[in-house]
Amino acid sequence: MKIADVVKEQARKAKEASKVLAATETAQKNEALLLMARKLRENISEVAQANQDDCKEAQEKGISSNLLNRLKFDRAKIESRAAALEGIAALPDPVGDTDYCTRRPSGLEVKKMRVPIGVVGVIFEARPHVVPNVGALCLKAGNAAIMRGGSEALRSISIMGELWEKTLEESGIPTAAVYVISTSEREAVNTLITLDEYLDLLIPRGGIELIKLVKENGTVPIIKHFNGICHVYLDQSAPEGIATRVTHNSKLLMPEVCNAAETLLIHEKAARRLLPPVAEALVKDGVTLKGCPKAKEILGWMEDATEEDWSTEYLDLILSVKVVSSLEEAVDHINNYGSHHTDVIVTDDYNGAKKFSRGVDSGVVLVNASTMFNDGEQLGMGAEVGLSTDKLHARGPVGLRDLTSYKYVVEGSGQIM
């Protein structure tokens, strides 16, 4: 069978499975999640080995270091996914939940009831942890999931796809409910993005080429997970300790992820005080700094930042630095050059914090905290399927509730208009 036909047939089965899932009781879904957690732990050596094989081959092919970091899925990471599955099982089931209830003058009682979306497709790059996360969140929300990972992660994701299949079979849920496309053929992506007959939502996680492909050729509605040009802005009153800690953590905890900081903005009245200690902490851990002319007046050894730097997602140990003359200029810079993803202000000024939070048009705006907190678990919504850069349906971390739609249920006693 041709790969296009395989994908199409699987999507058709996923649609059928989604109808069963929509009516599956919470207990049965939770049991499947807990079983998958057990299977991950029982097969931890095999999964880790598959991932090592993937990593080895990727290294031989000369993969970049940040992509390699994303690809790595060691025992600790696998264990954390098993724990995440248990966490998702413990979350309240959103399906059937009602979150807007009102009684109208007509006597009608109106409820807004959460329902599953249907079939969710996810296209992702290297990170294997997507397979347990997305599968679990979709399952809990009553959706079927169909996933297509990058070829470099093929062994890691295929073995977890098999674990899902066994889990579902043993749980009495149609196995098409969570499916991993186990092929590196490009044709699978081209097919998946046009299956609007079966897919209700597509989440493309990846670079500009994938987004372009999907926008130009796709027919399934999408929530984009695009690039992150994220900023840390040190306001005039920023305390040095927090400024250093938050900047360092935002750049260095995981430089390869989309919510890592790419540009540091500093108020001109704080630049002489803050830039030297912040720069020292970064440079000590291997970060290359690129400064604007005003920043270079303070630290002349920095490389020159060009206009292009302000809109570059390095995903690497590089940080651009710009001195701004006001909080307003910082907000304008972020809204113009950023990607509306994750931005931070470090400040001691109440009104400045409010102004920044209001003014910056990004999915997550933080005050005195690291960009790393743009994360579904950290913000209290369970795990997430990714960080949306869209404004429709879901923005920021896409959690369990964002994987549902709703219907209005209206109860009357014979009302007409």
**Residue type at position 327:** L
Minimal CA–CA distance to 290: which of 263, 271, 261? 263
Among the listed ranges 42-50, 151-159, 214-222, 318-326, the one in contact with a copy of itself (CB under 8 A) is 214-222
Q: For residue 363, give Cα distances in angstroms to 246, 280, 387, 389.
A: 19, 30, 9, 7
Comparing CB distances to a copy of itself, the nearer of 6 and 242 is: 242
- Assess 413 for contact with a copy of itself (CB under 8 A): yes
- Assess 29 for contact with a copy of itself (CB under 8 A): no
Choice from 27, 61, 102, 301 touching a copy of itself (CB under 8 A): 102
Nearest approach in angstroms of CB 378 to a copy of itself is 7
Comparing CB distances to a copy of itself, the nearer of 200 and 256 is: 200
Nearest approach in angstroms of CB 408 to a copy of itself is 5
Among the listed ranges 8-16, 123-131, 315-323, 369-377, the one in contact with a copy of itself (CB under 8 A) is 369-377
- Assess 78 for contact with a copy of itself (CB under 8 A): no
Comparing CB distances to a copy of itself, the nearer of 167 and 362 is: 362
201: left (phi over 0), alpha (psi -120 to 50) or beta: beta
Interacting residues with a copy of itself between 137 and 176 (CB under 8 A) = none
Cβ 374 vs Cβ 397: under 8 Å: yes
Comparing CB distances to a copy of itself, the nearer of 304 and 328 is: 328
Cβ 288 vs Cβ 251: under 8 Å: no
* Torsion of Cα atoms, 213 then 218 then 223 then 225, to 10°: -20
Choice from 65, 80, 217, 378 touching a copy of itself (CB under 8 A): 378
Minimal CA–CA distance to 384: which of 189, 127, 61? 127
Comparing CB distances to a copy of itself, the nearer of 323 and 372 is: 372
Phi, psi of 61 (to 5 degrees): -80, 0
Comparing CB distances to a copy of itself, the nearer of 132 and 363 is: 363
- Assess 370 for contact with a copy of itself (CB under 8 A): yes
Q: For residue 89, give Cα distances in angstroms to 7, 13, 92, 93, 237.
A: 29, 24, 8, 9, 44
Interacting residues with a copy of itself between 327 and 366 (CB under 8 A) = 353, 357-359, 361-366
Q: Judging by DSSP bridges, how do beta strands 119-123 and 144-148 pair with one another?
A: parallel
- Assess 98 for contact with a copy of itself (CB under 8 A): no
Cβ 130 vs Cβ 147: under 8 Å: yes
- What ranges in 227-325 are assigned the alpha helix state H? 240-252, 268-284, 293-298
Q: Judging by DSSP bridges, how do beta strands 201-204 and 288-291 pair with one another?
A: unpaired
**Binding-residue total with a copy of itself (CB under 8 A):** 67
Question: Is residue 364 packed enough to be buried (19+ CB in 10 Å), middle (13-18) or exposed (0-12)?
Answer: buried
Strand order across the 144-148 sheet:
178-181, 144-148, 119-123, 201-204
* CA end-to-end distance (rounded Å), the chain: 55
Among the listed ranges 33-41, 54-62, 226-234, 240-248, the one in contact with a copy of itself (CB under 8 A) is 240-248
Q: Judging by DSSP bridges, how do beta strands 387-388 and 396-397 pair with one another?
A: antiparallel
Choice from 75, 104, 186, 269 touching a copy of itself (CB under 8 A): 104
Burial 199-234 (b: 16+ CB within 10 A, else e): bbbbbbbbeeebbebbeeebebebbbbbbbbbbbbb
Nearest approach in angstroms of CB 31 to a copy of itself is 21
Give the DSSP letter string of 232-258.
EEE-TT--HHHHHHHHHHHHHS-TTST
Choice from 241, 272, 297, 328 touching a copy of itself (CB under 8 A): 241
- 84 CB-near residues (< 8 Å, 6+ apart): 132, 133, 136, 377, 383
Nearest approach in angstroms of CB 150 to a copy of itself is 25
- Assess 96 for contact with a copy of itself (CB under 8 A): yes
Choice from 6, 20, 213, 242 touching a copy of itself (CB under 8 A): 242
Comparing CB distances to a copy of itself, the nearer of 185 and 277 is: 277
- Assess 265 for contact with a copy of itself (CB under 8 A): no
Comparing CB distances to a copy of itself, the nearer of 7 and 119 is: 119
Among the listed ranges 37-45, 47-55, 69-77, 372-380, the one in contact with a copy of itself (CB under 8 A) is 372-380
Contacts with a copy of itself by CB under 8 A lie at 22-23, 96, 102, 104, 106, 108, 110, 113, 115, 117-118, 196, 200-201, 215, 219, 221, 223, 239, 241-242, 245-246, 248-249, 253, 353, 357-359, 361-370, 372-374, 378-380, 390-393, 395-397, 405-417
